[in-house]
Amino acid sequence: MKINKLLVLVFLGAMAFACKDAKKAESNVDTTTEIEENKSVTEIINERKSEDIKIIPIEHSTAVIEWNDVIIYIDPVGGAAAFEGQKNPTLILITDIHGDHLNVETLNALDTANATFVVPQAVADELPEKYKEQLVIMANGTSKKLSNITIEAIPMYNLRKEALKFHKKGRGNGYVLNIDAQRIYFSGDTEDIPEMRSLKNIDKAFICMNLPYTMTEESAAAAVLDFKPKQVYPYHYRGKPDVSDVAKFKQLVDAGNQDIEVIQLDWYPNEEY
């Protein structure tokens, strides 16, 4: 009798281990298959890193980026009220001298004591003397590493004859921010220039489109289809007098390449569009 009981116990133990091993093997097969069928390990890691980067639209061309303890203000405009609840900036990137990108009153109203300003020379020339020690001046085509982020200054300018007076080549900067494994592009005020079309490996692209100052929805979509960012965010689309048709832009991009994800954020919280 004792022998029989012992045999039963041994049998039950073997079955338990067998079931556990089977479940483990099944789990491994499912996970491996899912990764192989859907995404590589590198893609999954990059997506998780992307989730660690928070991008907050403020208005028009103004945004805040949070990454770890680094806070980046892009073209801060709107006074202190526009940044209520936001952390104080580590980096301030300004693209151009126009009032929807450079607003000294807003800079004076913010706590920028610990911030480094990244600007083109034309913007540096417009800033008060008190900011001079905080400036990093970047020309088109240069790069600089600050706060563990490599910043590339990209040209931004007009091509259409009737628009050349707005943004001449060499005055302003678009920026590519290399944050961890992500490359994030802010176009600033530009048309679909060759330098934008030749960008490589862009994860997130913030693309302007507003007449008469920058470009049409068609030009913006054509450029995006050329350099193929993984995600594109239309921004800076309020024109004079019209507002660009963001839905049309999305349709053009979707028709040309469905692998490019068009993401619409609320850039005009006080407007219906």
Q: What pLDDT, in 10s, does the model give residues 5-64?
A: 444 444 444 444 444 444 444 444 344 344 445 555 545 544 555 569 999 999 999 999
Cα 210 to its chain centre, rounded Å, is 19
What is the mean pLDDT of the segment spanning 222-229?
98
Lowest mean pLDDT segment, chosen from 36-45, 171-180, 208-217, 220-229 = 36-45
Q: What is the pLDDT at residue 66?
A: 98
How far, in Å, CA of 253 to CA of 246, rounded? Answer: 11
Instruction: Tell me the HSE value of 180 on the side-chain side, using a 13 A CA sphere.
Output: 17
* 3-state SS, residue 12: helix
Q: Determine how many CB atoms are found less than 10 A away from the CB of residue 225.
A: 16
How far, in Å, CA of 125 to CA of 245, rounded? Answer: 35
Which tokens go with 160?
């259409």
Which tokens go with 94?
């300004």
How far, in Å, CA of 146 to CA of 116, rounded? Answer: 9
Is 176 within 8 Å of 199 (Cβ atoms)? yes
Is 237 within 8 Å of 207 (Cβ atoms)? no
Q: Determine how many CB atoms are found less than 10 A away from the CB of residue 145.
A: 9
Q: What is the pLDDT at residue 39?
A: 55
The model's pTM is 0.82
Q: What pLDDT, in 10s, does the model give residues 110-158?
A: 999 999 999 999 999 999 999 999 999 999 999 999 999 999 999 999 9
Instruction: Tell me the HSE value of 13 on the side-chain side, using a 13 A CA sphere.
Output: 6
Q: By percentage, how much of the chain surpasses pLDDT 90?
A: 76
**Angle, helix 217-227 to helix 246-256, in steps of 10 degrees:** 30
Q: Determine how many CB atoms are found less than 10 A away from the CB of residue 44.
A: 12
